[in-house]
Chains A and B, each alone.
Chain A
Amino acid sequence: MSRFSIFSLARNAMSWHQNWPRQWRSPNPKPEYDVVIIGAGGHGLATAYYLAKEHGITNVAVIEKGWLGGGNTGRNTTIVRSNYLWDESGLFYENAMKLWENLSIELNYNVMFSQRGVMNLAHNLGDVRESVRRVNANNLNGIDAEWLNAEQVKEFCPIINISKDSRYPVMGATLQRRGGTARHDAVAWGYARGADEMGVDVIQNCEVQGMMIENGVVKGVRTSLGDIKAKKVAMACAGHTSVVADMAGIRLPIESHPLQALVSEPMKPVLDCVVMSNAVHVYVSQSDKGELVMGAGIDSYVGYSQRGSLHVIEDQLASAMELFPLFSRTRMMRSWGGIVDTCPDASPVIGKTPVKNLYVNAGWGTGGFKATPGAGWCYAHTIAKDEPHDLNAAFSIDRFISGALVDEHGAAGVAH
C-alpha cells in the first residue's frame, strides 16, 4: 500500500493520478476463515482492523450485504463525544475518544476528526440538574466536561437565541471541548484500507442468510455467495442484528427504528461547534463544506425502511428555528434515514452470545458512530480472547437477566 501524504499526492499528480492503488481489494470469499465478521460498517471494519493489528488474527472476512460503510455509518450526523453518565459508559467512550484523537495518523487516512466542541443544552431545571450531575461524573472519570451558563453558551455559540421569552429558554449547557465531528465515510474507508492491507478480506455484495450451528457452536455462515466456514463469527450489523441473530435462534432486547437526518444547502459558516438539545430534539453542526447537518427524531415504530416521516422533520425544524432564528431562510437539500438498533437502557450490547463462538455487537441505537474505534477495539479483544475486555464487560446481554442495566437515557437522549 502506498502511504498517503502531501508528497505522495504531489508525486502522483505528476503522473495524472494514474497510479494510485486500490484502497481495498474485492476478493472472492475463501472457504474458511478464523473469524467472519458480519457487517462492514465502521464497527465491523474497525473490529477486523484491530483483530489483525492488536491480536495478529488476519485470516478474517468482513461480509457486507451492500457496500461497505453504507449502513448507519454512512448516514449519521457524526457527532463524537465521550461525556456519558455512568462509569461503564464514560470509560468506554473515553477510550474511543482517545483512539479518535490519533485515528487519522494511525490509519494514514484523514478522517477529519474535528474537535470543535459539543454542547448539550439544558432547557429546564431537571435538565440543569442532570447536566451538572453528568459534568461531575465525567470530571471524576477524567473526561473533559464543563457546565456553561446561558451567557457562556451564547459566547461559545453566538447564533443561539438565549432569550428568556423563548419557548425553550436556554438555561445552560454542558460542553465537551474535545467532542466534535468526523468524516463518517473516511472512517469506514480508512479502516477498510487498513484491514485490507493486513490481509483481511472485505467482501461486499454478499448477504449472510443463515448460520451454521452444530451442538450450540457456530461453524460458519450461509451467504448469498455460498457457505463460508469460520471458527468464530461476530455480528456487527446494527439495525439488522435481530434478523441475523434470529438465524442463530437468538432473541435480543433490540428494536430497530427509522432515524432521520438532513442537510441544508451549503452556506458560509455560521456554526462552528456542535449543538444538541435532547429536550427539543435538535442536534446540528455545520460541515466543512457549509451544509448544516441536522439529526431529526426517531420514528416511534419498528422500521427497516431507511426512510422516515416528514412531520418529524417539520416539528424538529420548528424547534430549531426557536434556537437558531437565522436558519429560516436556508433550505433543506436532502433528507434520509437510517435504521437504528435501540436497547431498552440506551446502552449497547458487546459480548458473547448463548451460541459458542458467536459474538454480538449491537444496540448502538442513535449514538454508535462515536464508539466506532472503541467498539472495534473492545470487540476484537472479546473475540480474540473469548472474553470481554474490562471496558465492555458491563455491556453483556446478561445484564437484562440480572437487571444490571446501564441506563443512559439521560445522557443518550433522543439521538446524536
Chain B
Amino acid sequence: MTEQFRTTQGSRVDRSKAINFTFNGKNYKGVEGDTLASALIANGVHLVGRSFKTHRPRGILTCGSEEPNAIIQLETGPRSEPNLRATQVELYEGLSAKSVNCWPSVNFDIAAVNAIAGRIFVAGFYYKTFMKPSSLWMTVWEPAIRRMAGLGVLPREKDPDTYDHMNEFCEVMVVGSGPAGLSAALAAGRTGARVVLCDEHPEFGGTLLNTKEIIDGKPAQEWVKTAVAELEAMDNVRLLKRANAFGYYDHNYITVHERRTDHFGPGAKPELTRQRIWHFRSKQVVLATGSHERPLVFADNDRPGTMLAAAGQTYANRYGALPGRRGVVFTNNDSAYSVAIDLVDAGMDIPTVVDLREVVDGDLPNTARKKGIEVITGSGIVATLGRKRVKGVEIATVSSDGSQVTGTKRKIDCDTILSSGGWSPAVHLFSQSIGKLRYDEEKVCFVPNVSSQNERTVGACKGSFDLQSALDEGAAAGAAAAKDTGFGKGKAPASPKALVVEEKPIKAYWVVPTDHPVGQGKRKHFVDFQHDVTAADIMLAAREGMHSVEHMKRYTTTGMATDQGKLSNVNGLAILSSQLEKAIPKVGTTTFRPPYTPVNFGALAGRGINGDLADPVRRTPMYSWHLENGATFEPVGQWQRAWYYPKAGEDMHAAVTRETAALRDGVGILDASTLGKIDIQGKDAAKFLNLIYTNAWLKLPVGMCRYGFMLKEDGMVFDDGVTSRLGENHFHMTTTTGGAAGVLDWLEEYLQTEWPDLEVYCTSVTEEWSTLSIGGPKARQLLEELAPDMDFSNENFPFMAWRDGVVAGVDARVFRISFTGDLSYEINVRNWHGLHLWKKCMELGEKYDITPYGTETMHVLRAEKGFVIVGQETDGTQTPQDLGMDWIVAKKKGDFVGRRSFIREDTARADRKQLVGLMTDNPKEVLTEGAQLTYERVNPTPAPMVGHVTSSYWSPNLDHSIAMALVKDGHNRMGQWIYAHDRGKVTKVKIVSPVFYDPKGERRDG
C-alpha cells in the first residue's frame, strides 16, 4: 500500500525512512516519526474502532492522549497490550495492531445491531429493566451485558517486561514543554536550581511542533530547537520525554510515568526497564500543561473523518499526513482558521469554514478568505452524510441561541470535518492539587484561580491562549519559582517575540441544532465518543432529576471512559447547565483525579512486580541449613520459619510424630531466632516493667527470668514473652515473632509520652542474637558437652534462670526456660555464630539422635502443656483471666496498662469465653481448628455458639488427640460434654483442663 495522503514536503517525519506495519491484518507503510495514527491517516485509514455500547464506527479524532476513539490492541502474545491510543503509539518496524471491541472485524461488527435497538438504550436504561424475574438477571441478562464489556484483551501470560521507580528531588518541576514550559524551564534552569521538565510527547515543543508560528522572525520550531539544546547542556536540568505527569499529590509530590522502551518495539531493549515511575518532591511547580481543543456537538458528529481541527492541522504540519482530500472546517472561534490555512497550504481542499458566529472579521478569517476559502457565518453543520466515512455535510443557518435551524440546508461534499468548539485549559494537575477553578465567560472555559500548593500555572493551561503570553508567563514563573527556592533574583529573562495574530472572541455554542429536536430523531449529537453518550442522554438525565453534574456523569457515564472526559466534560456540563437554566459555574466540573493519562499497573508495582522484591522475606542465620536439610517453611509475618523437617517419604503427620517423640524422649533443637528481643535498662526499668506487664517485677532477682503478659488499655492480651533480669537496672525482654516491632514502638510511646520522667532506655537487639532452643531429657547432657565450663545442674542453674558462658567455643547467654514442658535451654549467641552453634549441636547431638523440629512440633508440644500462643488462643478479645491465668495478674502492685478495664461490666462477667482443653471420645479423632462449639448436639439455626477450637493436634506422646478451646463459662464446666461442629460434622467432646501432659511439671527439670 502506498501512503496516498502523505504530503511531499515540510513536517517532522523522515520520509526517507519507511517503516512497515500491519493494522487489522493488512500491511501498510509509514515513516520514521509517525505515530500509528498518523501513519494510518497517511494511508487513508480512518475507521479504526467501534464504540463501547452501540459499536458505531469510529475514526481518529485527536493527536494525543485525549484520544477517545482510536483505541487499539498492540501486538500479540505476552507483550500484547490492550487499549492503547493509536495517537500515542510511535511507529516501529514490524508493528502490528488491531482494533478492539469488534467482532468479527472493525468493518463488519455484529454487535453494531445494538445501534438498531439504540432507541431503547438511552442513559440509565439498565436501571429500568432486566429486573423480573430475578432469576434471569444472573443467568441471562448480566452474562449478556458482560459479554459486551470491555475494550481490549489482556494477555494471559506473565509480563516479560520490567519496571522501576525513581525518587527525585528538585527545586522547580515544569510539566509540559510547549512555549510556556520551555520558557519556564529555561528561566529556572539558568539560575542553577535543579529543574525537571517533562512532557508526554516524544519531542519537546508542545503545540509549536504542530503549528507554523513565528518566534523572533523565524519558525518557532527553530526556537524550540535552541531552547532544548540549551536545556540539554545544563547539568542541573533533567529532561523527561514520553513522560506523563499523572498525579499531583499533597506536599508537592508529583508522579510521572515514563515510557522508556515502547517506541523501540516490544522487547527491543531488554536491559532497560520498560517503564519507570518517577516520584518527585519539588519545592515549586510550574504547570504548563496547555489546553485541549473541544469538539463541537453537532448532529452525526462521530462519523469517521470527523476530527478536531487542531489535530487535522497537526497531522498535516507535523506528520505530513493529510486528514483527507476535501474538508469542511466547523468552528465557533478564530483558531480553526489557522487550521484551514495550513491545510490548504499542505495541499488539501478546504472549500468552506462554517462558523457559528454571526460576525467573523478577525485577521485569521480574513486571511482564509483571501486564500479563497468560503466563510459561512451564523451557520452550523446540521447533518453529516456517509457511514464508515464522512461523505458530506449539510449546513444551514442556525439561531444564535442554539435552539433551531433557521435557514435552508445546503449540502457540501467532503471527506473530512474539522471541528473546533474552543479550548479547555488542561487544569487536571492544578485541580488534583486542590487548586480552585474559575469560569471565564469570555474565553468560555474554566481557568485556574486559587492555588493550594507551591505552584504556578502558565500559558494555555492558565487560559492564556496566545503565544506571547505563553512565553512571557513561562519565563516569569520559572524565574519566580527558582527565586522562591533560593536561586536567582526572580527576574524573568526577556522572552523572545512571537508574531501575534489577534484573535476575536469565541462564541459559546454547546449544541448545534438539527432538523429535529435534539434526541427526537435519528441524528445523534455525541458528547462522550467512547461511551456513546449523546446530548439527548444528558438532557434526559436532567429531566429525570440528575441535576448535580456528578449525577449526570454517573447516570450517563460522560467522562468515565479511558480519556476521562478530556474532550467531553465541559461540553457535558454546559449542556446540563443550559438544560437546568443554571450558569455554568453553578453546575461546576466533576472532580479531576489521577492519573492524567492511564498508567500501567506493572509500572506502578515497579520492581515489586517480582513478589520477593515487593515484600522482604526475612531469614534467620540458620535458614540455609534448614533449606539444605529439607525443611518446609511457614510464613510468620515477613519471616520464614522452619515448619517441619520431613524425611524421605514422610508427610507432615509422620514428621511431626517423629519430631515430638524425639523431644520427649531424647533431644530436639529449634530455631527460635525470630523472637523479638529488647534491651531495657535504666534505674526505673523494673518500675517500667511493672507498669506494662500484668505481673510484678520489682523483686525478680538478677539471674532470673519471668513470663509476662502485656495488655492494651482495653484489658485484652496483646503480647507475651519471657523477660530476664540481667542486672539491677537491666532487663532482656522477649516478644512474639510478629509482635516485635509493635511492642518496641508501644514501649517507647508510653516511655516518651506518658512517663518521660522514668529513666529507661529500650533498644532492639532482636537480631543481635541467634536463638536455639534445645530441649528434651537429654538436653542437659548435650549442653554439658557443648559448654564444659558451665554448670547445668538444677541447683546452680534452676528453671527460669539464665547464665552467661561459652558454648561451642563462642560467647553465649543461656536461658533455662521451656515452652515444651520438658527440660529446655534457650541458647543465645551472636547472630553470626548461630549457624556454627547449630551445626555443632547437630554434630555433638548425633549420638542422642538430636532432632531438629519446626514450629508445628513446637505447637504440639506446648499444647500438650496447655501453653497459649498469642494470636492463636487469643484474638484480641481475651483477658488473662479468660485464659485461666489469673496468677499472672498482680493484685497488689497497683496500676498497670489495661488493669482498669477488667472491672467493666462485660469484662467482669463470670461466664466469659474461657480457655479449656477438649478431649474427643474417639482418641484418634483430631478436631479441626476453627470448629465451633455448642452445648447441645442438635441446634436450631442460628445455633447458639459457645466458643471455638483454637488449637488441635494429634499428640503422639499421649496417643490421643488434644485440643484447646475458648468456651463460654468453660471454667465452670469441666467434665461436661459439648459438641464441635465443622462443616456439617458434629463431634462430641469433653471439657477438660488444657494441661494434658505432665500436669505436675515433673519433666521440667529433666
Chain A interface residues toward B at CB < 8 A: 4-6, 8-10, 13, 16-18, 20-26, 66-70, 74, 87, 90-91, 101-102, 104-105, 108-116, 123-126, 129-137, 139-142, 147, 159, 166-169, 183, 185-186, 189-190, 204, 264-270, 272, 286-290, 305, 307, 309-310, 313-315, 317-322, 325-336, 344, 399, 401-405, 407, 409-410
Contact = CB atoms under 8 A, between A and B. Distances in A.
Interface of B: 52, 79-83, 119-120, 122, 125-132, 134, 137-138, 142, 145-146, 149-159, 161, 165, 247, 249-250, 253, 255, 277, 279, 517, 519-521, 536, 540, 543-548, 550-551, 554-555, 560, 562, 564, 591, 593-595, 598-602, 604-606, 608-609, 611-612, 614-615, 617, 634-636, 714-715, 871-872, 875-877, 901, 904-907, 928-932, 934, 939, 941-943, 945, 948, 950, 981-984
A405 B600 contact: no
Given A17-B540, A267-B150, A335-B594, A87 B945 contact: yes
Shortest beta-carbon contacts, A-B, top 9: A290-B150, A318-B608, A167-B611, A132-B930, A133-B930, A328-B602, A328-B159, A331-B598, A67-B548
B249 A307 contact: yes
A154 to B, nearest CB: 14
Given A288-B142, A309-B249, A319-B614, A129 B519 contact: no
Nearest to B432: A307
Given A110-B131, A129-B929, 9 more contacts: A111-B127, A132-B931, A265-B82, A269-B149, A329-B79, A330-B83, A403-B906, A407-B875, A410-B875
Contact of A141 (B137, B146, B941): B941
B599 A331 contact: yes
Nearest to A106: B131
Contacts of B564: 333-334
Contacts of A130: 875, 930
Contacts of B250: 305, 307, 309
A320 B615 CA distance: 12
Contacts of B153: 267-268
Contacts of B617: 167
B948 A16 contact: no
B545 A23 contact: yes
B601 A267 contact: no
7 contacts: A4-B127, A25-B545, A110-B126, A116-B138, A269-B150, A327-B601, A332-B604
Given A132-B982, A322-B614, A336-B591, A114 B604 contact: no
B155 A329 contact: yes
A181 to B, nearest CB: 11
A333 B152 CA distance: 14
B145 A13 contact: no
Nearest to B611: A167
A70 B550 contact: yes
B941 A142 contact: yes
Contact of A136 (B543, B611, B930): B930
A136 B547 contact: no
B149 A265 contact: no
A10 B120 contact: yes
Given A20-B544, A74-B554, A266-B149, A329 B602 contact: yes
A16 B600 CA distance: 41
A90 B943 CA distance: 12
A267 B154 contact: yes
A56 to B, nearest CB: 25
Contacts of B142: 112, 114, 288
Given A22-B545, A185-B554, A5 B595 contact: no
A136 B907 contact: no
A90 to B, nearest CB: 8
A317 B605 contact: yes
Contacts of B941: 140-142
Nearest to B564: A334
Contacts of A305: 250
Given A267-B152, A287-B149, A139 B905 contact: no
Contacts of B128: 4-6, 8-9, 109-110
Contacts of B877: 405, 407
B591 A124 contact: no
Given A91-B942, A319-B615, A332-B599, A18 B127 contact: no
| From A113, A290, A409, residue with most partner B Cβ within 10 Å | A290
B160 to A, nearest CB: 9
Contacts of A166: 611
B810 to A, nearest CB: 33
A397 to B, nearest CB: 14
Contact of A333 (B81, B149, B277, B598): B598
Given A105-B132, A318-B608, A23 B875 contact: no
B132 to A, nearest CB: 6
Contact of A318 (B129, B536, B614): B614
A331 B149 CA distance: 16
A314 B165 CA distance: 10
Contacts of A131: 930
A67 B901 CA distance: 43
Contact of A265 (B594, B598, B982): B598
Nearest to A271: B154
A140 B945 contact: yes
Contacts of B125: 9
Given A310-B253, A403-B715, A24 B131 contact: no
A13 B928 contact: no
A26 B547 contact: yes
B601 A186 contact: no
B606 A314 contact: yes
A314 B604 contact: yes
A112 B211 CA distance: 49
A109 B901 contact: no
A104 B122 contact: no
Given A167-B611, A269-B150, A402 B904 contact: yes
A136 B154 contact: no
A26 B545 contact: yes
B930 A402 contact: no
